[in-house]
Amino acid sequence: MRWLVFFTMLVGAFVSYGQYNLQLNQVLLVNNTLQTVPAGKVWKIESYMQSGVTINDMSESSATCNFPGRHHAFLVNNQLYYLINGSPGHGSSGTFMAVGNSLPMWIPAGTTVRTSCASDVLSILEFNLVP
């Protein structure tokens, strides 16, 4: 009987701790205009499309748009993130890249996000947090 009461209280504690359900609100395309995740929402960055890729060897990176053949970063809370597939590399600039950065990426309310170039775009799903 003691175990039954203990088990019931334990399960009750976890059940009463409510988590949110996610309700799809809208699909967003974000470029280099800074956007902030609104209160009561969460964003899921699904993909990052970079325009102007013109060369096969894309091992160099650039936070600017002056070099269309290089990887462009997107920024989350003003921190640069590069999406790199394959092995780590570096270009003549000596810039090393983080392997393993991949999408999707979930970001909470209050987080800022943008691309480095106006022609690049982040595809984002916005969800309402429903109790």
In a domain, 8, yes or no: no
For the chain, give the mean pLDDT: 77
Q: How far apart are CA 82 and CA 61, in angstroms?
A: 8
Residues 82-119: tens digit of each pLDDT: 876 544 444 555 455 555 678 899 999 999 999 988 88
Residues 4-22: tens digit of each pLDDT: 665 666 555 555 555 889 9
In a domain, 13, yes or no: no
Domain span holding position 94: 20-130
Residues 6+ apart with CB under 8 A from 125: 24, 26, 27, 28, 43, 44, 46
In a domain, 40, yes or no: yes
In a domain, 109, yes or no: yes
Structural domain total, the chain: 1
The helix/strand count (H/E) of the chain reads as: 1, 10
In a domain, 2, yes or no: no
Cis peptide bond upstream of 38, omega within 30? no
In a domain, 5, yes or no: no
In a domain, 1, yes or no: no
Q: How far apart are CA 114 and CA 80, in angstroms?
A: 10
Q: What is the pLDDT of residue 4?
A: 62
Measured from the Cβ of residue 106, the count of other Cβ atoms closer than 10 Å reads 11
